[in-house]
Amino acid sequence: MQKKILVTGGCGFIGSHTIALLIEKGYDVVSLDNFSNSHKEALKGLEKLTGRTIANLEVNLCDRLETMKAITEAAPFDAVIHFAAYKSVGESMAKPFMYYQNNIPSVINIAEAAVRNGIQHFIFSSSCTVYGDAEVIPVTENTPIGNALSPYGLTKITAEAQLTDVNKRYKWFKPTFLRYFNPAGAHESALIGEASRRPSTNLVPIICEVVAGKREKLAVFGDDYQTRDGSCIRDYVHVMDLAEAHISALELSLIQESKTDIESFNLGIGEGVSVLEAISAFEQVTGKKVNYAIGEKRPGDVAAIFADYSKAAKVLNWKPKRTIEDIMETAWKWEQVRW
Ligand code: UFG
């Protein structure tokens, strides 16, 4: 029988790309999104892409009763994939209460709704930020959870801890933590892509906006880090590779019904790319110059972090297929048509 999956944040960046793939793989999908940081056009893009009408529950996950009612009415579901959250590190530094008040109650309420409705499988959008400023890189899932470097990071660490506690009480309830490195790029069709309501603070969308003339200049945050060219090193992973990892994690959880241990997976490409290398990858792929200047270091940035994804490779049989060039090519294609 067709499995029915609830995707919160279904109109957001990774959520919309994961829905596209879930539908392609034959799942019945219900999106949950109140468009607080996304656009209704994402549903239209998904409908064009998949040829299906996508059901969406317009629910505020911070409202417990509203969440409980909506999920109970739309149930049964075989699984929940929980993306909905605020995600900007810098914004969280400026507005910590906003991050705590949104990211924490929403995960608690959706987890409670899952438990009350007997939904066993729960895939949670986590982040490499849970490792803090790791002493040894690449980081594995055994790297200790670090001190949070931002309120955003603290919400991810807290949510993982809370879901772990819930699993101790309700042993059948099975969360999986997917720890993303730097998600970027867009669907090859350019029918969906990243389109938060608030200005982006991430490198790849900013590069695209500068080249599109929507911003004047990119500031490279520091060029005297202890890295090969002095700029920060990150692990940029294509959003469609992430979508594929979600399907693999979901399928593993669905197959292993009786196994209730919590699993965590690092999702990155396992290679670091510096900010200056990212700029030159963009220039090489698109033939366009990026107007940039070296600026001040950004508080909270670590010099370098990248993934050891060998656990995901072994257990999920997942391998990222797309490169930094694919990221730049699809992000630029999307930038030119985005709503
Ligand atoms: N950068 C610039 N200029 C900009 C924007 C970014 O030089 O205008 C640099 C940053 O210093 C960093 C790199 O580009 O070295 C990537 O920065 P992003 O803001 O795109 O991403 P972060 O690495 O800060 O954040 C990512 C994820 C978060 C996650 C965090 C953990 O987006 O979800 O990594 O480190 F929590």
Q: Is the pLDDT of residue 259 over 90?
A: no
Q: Which amino acid type is present at position 190?
A: A
Q: Which domain does 33 fall in, by range?
A: 4-186+236-268
Contact 27, 50 (CB under 8 A): no
- Which residues touch 85 (CB under 8 Å, ≥6 apart)? 9, 102, 103, 106, 107, 125, 155
Q: Which two tokens stand for residue 21?
A: 């793939």
User: How large a percentage of the chain has pLDDT more than 90?
Assistant: 95
pLDDT score recorded for residue 1: 85
Q: How far does the centroid of ligand 1 lie from the alpha carbon of residue 204, in Å?
A: 9
**C-alpha angle 173/177/178, rounded to 5°?**
145
User: For residue 130, is it within any domain?
Assistant: yes
Catalytic option among 152, 180, 225, 309? 152
pLDDT score recorded for residue 288: 98
User: For residue 313, is it within any domain?
Assistant: no
Q: Averaged over 328-334, what is the pLDDT?
A: 98
239 closest CA partner among 317, 184, 196: 184
pLDDT score recorded for residue 94: 93
User: For residue 64, is it within any domain?
Assistant: yes
pLDDT score recorded for residue 339: 86
Q: Averaged over 29-41, what is the pLDDT?
A: 97
Q: Which two tokens stand for residue 174?
A: 């099975």
Give 296's pLDDT tier (boundaries 50, 70, 90): very high
pLDDT score recorded for residue 300: 79
User: For residue 82, is it within any domain?
Assistant: yes
List the beta bridge partners of residue 219.
293
Residue count of the chain, please give it.
339
We report the CATH number of the domain holding residue 178 as 3.40.50.720
Between the CA of residue 121 and those of 58, 242, 305, 338, what are the distances in Å?
Answer: 22, 18, 30, 33
User: For residue 225, is it within any domain?
Assistant: no
User: What is the CB neighbour count within 10 angstroms for residue 221?
Assistant: 17
Q: How far does the centroid of ligand 1 lie from the alpha carbon of residue 84, in Å?
A: 19
152 included as an active-site residue: yes
- Dmax (CA) for the chain in angstroms is 56
Q: How far does the centroid of ligand 1 lie from the alpha carbon of residue 35, in Å?
A: 24
User: For residue 310, is it within any domain?
Assistant: no
Total domain count, the chain: 1
- For residue range 73-89, list pLDDT tens digits in order: 999 999 999 999 999 98
Between the CA of residue 235 and those of 86, 165, 270, 291, 331, what are the distances in Å?
Answer: 20, 30, 7, 23, 16
Model-wide pTM > 0.95: yes
Q: Averaged over 230-237, what is the pLDDT?
A: 98
Contact 108, 124 (CB under 8 A): no
Q: Is the pLDDT of residue 2 over 90?
A: yes
Average pLDDT of the chain is 97
Give 257's pLDDT tier (boundaries 50, 70, 90): confident
Q: Which two tokens stand for residue 247?
A: 């399907």
Contact 103, 85 (CB under 8 A): yes
- For residue range 122-158, list pLDDT tens digits in order: 999 999 999 998 999 999 999 999 999 999 999 999 9
